[in-house]
Amino acid sequence: MEIKSIEFKDEVLRLIDQRKLPLVCEVVECKTYREVEFAIRDMIVRGAPAIGAAGAFGVVLAAKEFKHLPKEEFLTELAAANKCIAAARPTAVNLMWAVAKMEGVINANRDLEPDGIYRLLAQEADRIAMEDIAANKAMARWGNEIVPHGATILTHCNTGALATVGYGTALGVIREAHRTGKRIKVYADETRPRLQGARLTAWELVREGIPSTLIPDSVAPTLIRDGKIDLVLVGADRIALNGDTANKIGTYMLSEIARRFAVPFYVVAPVSTIDFAIESGAQIVIEERDKKEVTHVGGEQVAPLEIEVYNPAFDVTPHENITGIITEKGIIRAPFRENILKLKE
Ligand code: MRU
């Protein structure tokens, strides 16, 4: 059965609680925008495209909450709510992109009554969600073209149906290659410290019946050096104009090793992950998360609490290390700036 990480029905946003997988598959209901903001911040929902769509539904819930107010007040409250939702996590640009799209609808319809704006917002959020699924399926088809028959693929973090509205980005390409009979094998990094690879990617791979092996992150360089990996596929949280790509911490290390041993390294991401406003990765804000994610494992303390911890959630892979960026509009290669600009709508 298809995984539904996000579902909006009867004015309720239902999210699979990704903090609890794979041991428990529980759905959390968000009825207010503040609950949505918390769900994004606390990573009940995570993955760049998924938090973009969740943010858009958060705006719908805010509009529902305030639509009984006089118009000016409605617009003021809604603007404050949008700001709060967009700030829930700082690195994945899909969140800001989705909220900006919703704000575009508000601004273009300021002459309507609150209820009219609310209805249009609900339609826009649905469109964002539907378009994400379509983009993932298109990326999967493009990406499958560069997957050799019998390839062994290394992936990092979780980029599957859970990280998107459906199907997945890098994991979507893997699913497509498997579905089309390419007899692929997958190595999935566990992805310390939050273990998205072990908890989420492994769960999705097992469900799909894709031959896979879970590895500690530090095993990946040895596999690459020993010629055991044909292709690295990762997702992205923000791509700068020059192709520099922020993705889950550990991606940069993989890209360096892949380059050293001439293993193709592809980023798979929709155009909504490109930040056309920034020139390079140096301008990407990298989220730093709670020290407890490092001092504790599964709730158990493993380090002295007095120790200083540095816990960036993402790193930036320089464009020189990237063979290509697989988008729904095709595969982008160097020169990245020139080719990325062609994708701008
Ligand atoms: O901190 P997370 O789990 O939200 O990070 C997710 C990633 O880094 C993914 O690789 C990225 O968002 C792409 S998901 C299709």
Q: pLDDT-derived band of residue 21, with 50, 70 and 90 as boundaries?
A: very high
| Ligand 1 centroid, distance to 313 Cα (angstroms) | 9
Percent over 90 (pLDDT), the chain: 98
* Polymer length of the chain: 345
Distance CA 190, CA 156 (A): 8
pLDDT mean over 317-338: 98
Ligand 1 within 6 A of CB of 169: yes
| Ligand 1 centroid, distance to 108 Cα (angstroms) | 32
Ligand 1 within 6 A of CB of 18: no
Best residue among 196, 238, 287 to mutate for probing ligand 1's pocket (most ligand atoms within 8 Å of CB) is: 196
Closest C-alpha residue for ligand 1 atom 10: 235
Ligand 1 within 6 A of CB of 160: no
The question of whether 237 is a catalytic residue gets the answer: yes
Report the half-sphere exposure of 39 (CA within 13 A, side-chain side). Answer: 30
| Ligand 1 centroid, distance to 104 Cα (angstroms) | 26
| Ligand 1 centroid, distance to 272 Cα (angstroms) | 14
- Using one digit for the tens of pLDDT, what is the confidence trace for 158-194? 999 999 999 999 999 999 999 999 999 999 999 999 9
Ligand 1 within 6 A of CB of 199: no
* pLDDT at 88 (0 to 100): 98
Q: What is the residue whose two structure tokens read 């800001």?
A: 96
Ligand 1 within 6 A of CB of 49: yes
Ligand 1 within 6 A of CB of 164: yes
Query: Which of 237, 244, 275, 315 is an active site residue?
Result: 237
Ligand 1 within 6 A of CB of 264: no
- Nearest Cα neighbor of 32 from 53, 60, 7 is 60
What domains sit in the chain, N to C, each tagged with a CATH number? 6-136 (1.20.120.420), 139-341 (3.40.50.10470)
- Using one digit for the tens of pLDDT, what is the confidence trace for 252-305? 999 999 999 999 999 999 999 999 999 999 999 999 999 999 999 989 999 999
In the structure encoding, which two tokens stand for residue 205, read together? 């791979």
Q: Which ligand 1 atom minimizes the distance to the CA of 170?
A: 15
| The pairing of beta strand 245-248 with beta strand 314-317 | antiparallel
Helices 114-144 and 71-86 sit at what angle, rounded to 10 degrees? 30
Beta bridge partners of 187: 154, 213
Average pLDDT, the chain: 98
Closest C-alpha residue for ligand 1 atom 5: 47
Q: Counting Cβ atoms within 10 Å, is residue 146 exposed (0-12), middle (13-18) or buried (19+)?
A: middle
- Nearest Cα neighbor of 8 from 107, 95, 99, 121 is 121
Closest C-alpha residue for ligand 1 atom 15: 159
- Using one digit for the tens of pLDDT, what is the confidence trace for 167-177? 999 999 999 99
| Ligand 1 centroid, distance to 162 Cα (angstroms) | 10
* pLDDT at 2 (0 to 100): 87
* pLDDT at 188 (0 to 100): 98
| Ligand 1 centroid, distance to 164 Cα (angstroms) | 9
SS3 letters across 245-296:
EEEECCHHHHHHHHHHCCCCEEEECCHHHECCCCCCHHHCCCCECCCHHHHE
Q: pLDDT-derived band of residue 1, with 50, 70 and 90 as boundaries?
A: confident
- Using one digit for the tens of pLDDT, what is the confidence trace for 77-127? 999 999 999 999 999 999 999 999 999 999 999 999 999 999 999 999 999
- Nearest Cα neighbor of 168 from 192, 137, 125, 191 is 137
Q: Which ligand 1 atom minimizes the distance to the CA of 171?
A: 15
* pLDDT at 320 (0 to 100): 98
* pLDDT at 102 (0 to 100): 98
Ligand 1 within 6 A of CB of 91: no
pLDDT mean over 37-48: 98
Best residue among 17, 167, 173, 237 to mutate for probing ligand 1's pocket (most ligand atoms within 8 Å of CB) is: 237
With contact defined as beta carbons under 8 Å apart, do 147 and 166 qualify? Answer: no
* pLDDT at 298 (0 to 100): 87
Ligand 1 within 6 A of CB of 48: yes
